[in-house]
Amino acid sequence: MSKFQFPPSIISRPVYGTLEARAGKQHLMIADAEGAEALLDLAAPELMARSHIIFISRGTDYAERLKALSPQQFYEGPTYAASVSRIRRVLQDAHMGLQVYLAGTEGLMGQAQNEAMQAGIPHTAIQTEHRGSTARRMQCVHCKGITEDVAIDPFQCAHCGLNLFVRDHYSRRLAAYQGVCIDAEDPGNVPAAKGIYE
Amino acid sequence: MSGAEKIAVRVAEVTALNALVTRFRFEPVGGGLLPTFSGGAHTVVEMQDGEVKRLNPYSLMSDPFDQTAYTISVRRDDEGRGGSLFMHENVKVGDEMVISNPVNLFSLDLRARKHLMIAGGIGITPFLAQIKQLDRAHGNWELHYSCRSEALGSYVDYLTATHPNDVNVYYDDQKQAIDLENLLDGQPLGTHIYVCGPKGMINWVRAKADALGWPREAVHYEEFLAPQPGKPFEVKLAVSNKVIQVGEQESLLEAMERVGVDAPYLCRGGACGMCETRVIDYAGNFIHRDHWLEDDEHASGEKIMPCVSRFEGKTLVLDR
Amino acid sequence: MTLQFNDETFREDYSFHNSQRAINRFPFPFDKDSYMYAVNMEQHRGGPADSVYEKRFDVDEHYVSEMRDRALVLADDPLRCQSLPHMTLAGWDLLELIMVSKSEDYPDLFQLHRNGDQWHWINKPLGIDDTFTFMDETTLPYGPMEYITRQAQGDFCVLDQRDDNLWMDAGTVTTQADWSLDFDIGMNFFEWHAPVPLAHEKGIFVRALKFLLNIQQGAPARRLNWTMTVNPLLDTSPENYHKWGVQKGTITPENIGAKQHLRVELQTFYRLPRSNALVFPIRCYLCAFQDIVTMPKWGRRLHRVIRDLPEELATYKGFIDNRPMMLDYLSKFDDGLPTSNGIWPEKDSEPPLQV
Ligand code: HEM
Ligand code: FES
């Protein structure tokens, strides 16, 4: 699958790279869906022997191929929410020098990056590679509710029902883009929704 | 540089610790209280050494919350520019001196789960203040301190007596050395390293941490950016038709102000661009210190920021 | 001079008003007839008598009512005041800075008595008389930053300094020009400025950050920023934008002079000693167009600035749709005469409006 080229944007919007093996005794890899392909590209036997892979399948069937890489530890979870307590547990015992690799959707990478940052790894030291869906995790600035996998703009907040404009302004702490009421100045005047990158 | 007020102090104690290191205690002139500071901060001490005015930075080692006095420790350096010799040989109890407000270029990362401190020789001084700050906040820290010999181990007795479980001392002459690889291996996530000591030690720790996969942001080291007094130079001001001398301790901007030339400024820190001045003619070298001009402008010889930048050479004519 | 505090509101019936003194000392932000983003910073060491620059933290006739408005905002939405755990020390630094400054600068309004760690703080305008132990959170009703910023006009961002950057790790923000503290918490200097147009390309933020990182204890700095607000609404937050956004459409040629306000932020920068953090107080001053144009120089100049402002800035500041109506109104106060340099009104020397 070819990688999506995000258009250039403002500075707060995350920029993703290409995963590369780094020095370190322990390696934690977290991926969802097509993110598995980035791990498959990265895999080398010496690296895998020291790697813990946490894979969130979201209905895809990459798990067997990842397992075949013989990582030191492998876990497959259905969703991020189901996997997050395990991620926390792994980070709790980890040591400085741990290398973190994230691959897949923006929502997955943002949330996992946040866990790693909370555990004490600066965000600049965490590698990311985008694969798969370009949908966004979005916070409604009004009600603070978070909606996953937002692909269209404007969209209706799943929590409070306001029609939101999808901004590029991004908060690492919330792992979310900002949604702002689009018809505040002219209530009811809501343009037709289209894909965020259309 | 950015015009902070200076502090007038009186030398209250001079204590020789060993063959190389002497401690000075400064109290504010006229009673009152000194500003608090953060562990790792230094002060710039002004010394009037005959004709020469010297400005040397020294780490503050006293309790950051103690506003009655500051203490510094000065290691005698027989080869250096002479500031430490002046401190050792000329400064006596009762002398009045001028010091800068505290400046911190080596501050603790207060988010750290654990602070791992590595000191070499006189590099111990900022840690003395940081330890006091961390103890007050019940912080988690550990010190590894390497000295030449027991005789030259400044503050070893004090540290090991007050913190027997957190302080580890290594003497070069007893062939003891920090086992860095083992020390860095297995530190919990969220540990920050702080290193202060000779350049070689700083490089050693940074390289080892890098090889072990530590993030750059988790390794802190003390790097003094002492305000170097510039050499005096002469400037011709074309518009006001004046020739002025810029002294070693004043900026070009201050020199212009001294002779009553109305020169614009805002930040006095080389950032705002307000004082930008056109160069009409020159023969010599600019010492550009501003953040305002681009590299090619610096190279062009057409502009100077008089609030921070200087000049060395025969002729400088400005459009002022 | 004893200060009379207005009893006024910044919402619903908008009874906010400026006295003649407040208009005279309004920090008009334009020193010439055009405006573009610049690194407009200078030292903050006092200023002309009775100007907003004179004291470290200006206290004016709106103090009591502004603090009442802040309490309402915080009651509605506690997320407007946040402090990450490592910022508590900076909160104490800020509490000390404000208490010491206000008690020294306004001894008739504020008093601070310190006996070691035992501090006694008296805030007469707000009727507060508290004794607490410095550095002991349990002796205050709120965290130190929240406690003191409930008693100080303007927003406060408290920035941690590390890795050659500033990080927005704490703040109390209830009078903001349409940005969200809750969203920006944890961002660095470049990230929280990301939405600003043109200034990144002009290198303004790179230079400004270098200057800020070098701000030293005892050497605070300041700058002015501005935008436009319909009605004297302090809380123009994104959080409530779906409620106040409609007000932008309520101005008419008849009411614009009273309803349209120039909103000026006096921003200052102080190094905090114990934490090495930086505090960024953002003090908001509002002035209705009809009050601004009573100063002939300001009327002339405001018209020219708004007329010539680049479209990107008018859009970012949120008044592009209302600009034509503003210009219709303001043009009546611009007779084409030259203006003197500087922000001060120069009422005595500037010629009256020629009609
Ligand atoms: C460290 C202290 C500072 C903080 C906390 C701060 C914060 C902010 C915030 C939150 C915004 C709104 C951004 C948005 O649209 O979401 C903003 C806007 C802006 N800031 Fe800063 N700022 C600081 C210092 C500075 C400095 C030193 C400068 C320039 C010299 C500057 C220039 C600007 C400009 C030009 C805007 C756009 C304002 C407008 O057009 O209305 N800021 N700032
Ligand atoms: S005064 Fe600001 S750059 Fe010189």
Please say whether the beta carbons of C277 and C93 come within 8 A. Answer: yes
Nearest CA in chain A to B208: A97
Ligand 1 near C208 CB (within 6 A): yes
Rounded to the nearest angstrom, the minimum Cα separation between B179 and chain A is 17
Beta bridge partners of B258: none
CATH topology of domain B114-222: Rossmann fold (3.40.50)
CA distances from B249 to B39, B48, B52, C240 (A): 28, 11, 10, 54
Nearest CA in chain C to A117: C186
Query: In which residue are the tokens 């498959």 written?
Result: A40
Subunits that touch chain A (at least 3 Cβ pairs < 8 angstroms)? B, C
Look up the CATH superfamily of B7-104: Translation factors (2.40.30.10)
Catalytic residue (one of C21, C114, C223, C323): C223
Q: Does C275 touch chain B (CB under 8 A)?
A: yes
Query: In which residue are the tokens 């000329």 written?
Result: B90
Look at C242 and A181 and tell me if their CB atoms are within 8 Å. Answer: yes
Ligand 1 atom having least distance to the Cα of C157: 5
Residue nearest to atom 3 of ligand 2 (CA): B270
Burial class (CB in 10 A: 0-12, 13-18, 19+), B199: exposed
Low-confidence ranges of chain C (pLDDT < 50): none
Q: Please count the other Cβ atoms lying within 10 Å of the Cβ belonging to residue A91.
A: 21
pLDDT value for B53: 66
pLDDT value for C129: 98
Backbone angles phi, psi at B318, to 5 degrees: -115, 150
pTM of the model: 0.92
Indicate the DSSP class of residue B228: P
The number of the ligand nearest the C-alpha atom of C194 reads 1
C273-287 per-position pLDDT tens digit: 999 999 999 999 999
State yes or no: is C223 an active-site residue: yes
Q: Does A54 touch chain B (CB under 8 A)?
A: no
Phi/psi-derived region of residue C232, left when phi > 0, alpha when psi is between -120 and 50, beta in every other case: beta
Residue nearest to atom 43 of ligand 1 (CA): C193
Nearest CA in chain B to A24: B213
Domain ranges in chain B?
Answer: 7-104, 114-222, 233-318
Backbone angles phi, psi at B8, to 5 degrees: -90, 125
Which own/partner pairs from C15-20 qualify as long-range (CB within 8 Å, at least 24 positions apart)? C16/C62, C16/C65, C16/C232, C16/C286, C18/C61, C18/C286, C18/C287, C18/C288, C18/C291, C19/C61
Domain ranges in chain C?
Answer: 20-331
Distance of CA C182 to the CA centre of its chain: 18
Pocket of ligand 2 (CB under 6 A): B 265-268, 270-275, 290, 292, 305, 307
User: How far apart are the CA of C212 and the centre of ligand 1, in A?
Assistant: 12
* ipTM of predicted complex: 0.96
Q: Write out chain B residues lying below 8 Å of C166, CB-based.
A: none
Backbone angles phi, psi at B105, to 5 degrees: -110, 10
pLDDT value for C306: 98
Closest CA to A105 of A33, A161, A176: A33
User: How far apart are the CA of B266 and the centre of ligand 2, in A?
Assistant: 6
Q: Write out chain A residues lying below 8 Å of B187, CB-based.
A: 95-96
Nearest beta carbon to residue B38 from set C86, C216, C274: C274
Look at B213 and A120 and tell me if their CB atoms are within 8 Å. Answer: no
Collapsing DSSP states into helix, strand and coil, what is residue B207?
helix
Distance of CA B317 to the CA centre of its chain: 33
Domain B233-318 has CATH 3.10.20.30: yes
Q: Which of C42, C172, C188, C192 to mutate to test the pocket of ligand 1 (most atoms within 8 A of CB)?
A: C192
Structure token pair of residue A118: 């909370």
Alpha carbons C169 and C343: distance in angstroms, whole number: 33
DSSP letters spanning C31-95? SSS--------EE-S--STTSTTSSSS---TTHHHHHHHHHHHHHH-GGGEEE-GGGHHHHHHHH
Q: Does B4 touch chain C (CB under 8 A)?
A: yes
Sheet holding B303-304, edge to edge: B242-246, B233-237, B310-318, B277-287, B303-304
B203-223 per-position pLDDT tens digit: 999 999 999 999 999 999 986
Q: Which of B262, B267, B294, B310 to mutate to test the pocket of ligand 2 (most atoms within 8 A of CB)?
A: B267
CA angle C337, C340, C344 (to 5 degrees): 125
Q: Does B58 touch chain C (CB under 8 A)?
A: no
Look at B137 and C42 and tell me if their CB atoms are within 8 Å. Answer: no
pLDDT in tens, chain A (198 residues): 568 999 999 999 999 999 999 999 999 999 999 999 999 999 999 999 999 999 999 999 999 999 999 999 999 999 999 999 999 999 999 999 999 999 999 999 999 999 999 999 999 999 999 999 999 999 999 999 999 999 999 999 999 999 999 999 999 999 999 999 999 999 999 999 999 998
Nearest CA in chain B to A120: B190
C176-193 per-position pLDDT tens digit: 999 999 999 999 999 999
pLDDT in tens, chain B (320 residues): 334 678 999 999 999 999 999 999 999 998 899 999 999 999 988 888 776 667 778 999 999 999 999 999 999 987 665 688 899 999 999 999 999 899 898 999 999 999 999 999 999 999 999 999 999 999 999 999 999 999 999 999 999 999 999 999 999 999 999 999 999 999 999 999 999 998 899 999 999 999 999 999 999 998 654 445 578 999 999 999 999 999 887 789 988 988 989 888 767 778 778 889 999 999 999 999 887 888 999 999 999 999 889 999 999 999 99
User: How far apart are the CA of C240 and the centre of ligand 1, in A?
Assistant: 20
Query: Which residue type is seen at A38?
Result: A
Alpha carbons C279 and A9: distance in angstroms, whole number: 29
Rounded to the nearest angstrom, the minimum Cα separation between A100 and chain C is 20
Ligand 1 near C227 CB (within 6 A): yes
Domain A27-130 has CATH 3.40.50.80: yes
Q: Does C191 touch chain A (CB under 8 A)?
A: yes
pLDDT value for B2: 36
Residue nearest to atom 11 of ligand 1 (CA): C193
Q: Which of C42, C157, C179, C196 to mutate to test the pocket of ligand 1 (most atoms within 8 A of CB)?
A: C196
Please say whether the beta carbons of B88 and B76 come within 8 A. Answer: yes
pLDDT value for B237: 97
Ligand 2 atom having least distance to the Cα of B292: 3
Alpha carbons C49 and C128: distance in angstroms, whole number: 28
Look at C38 and B273 and tell me if their CB atoms are within 8 Å. Answer: yes
**Strand A176-181 and strand A163-171: pairing?**
antiparallel
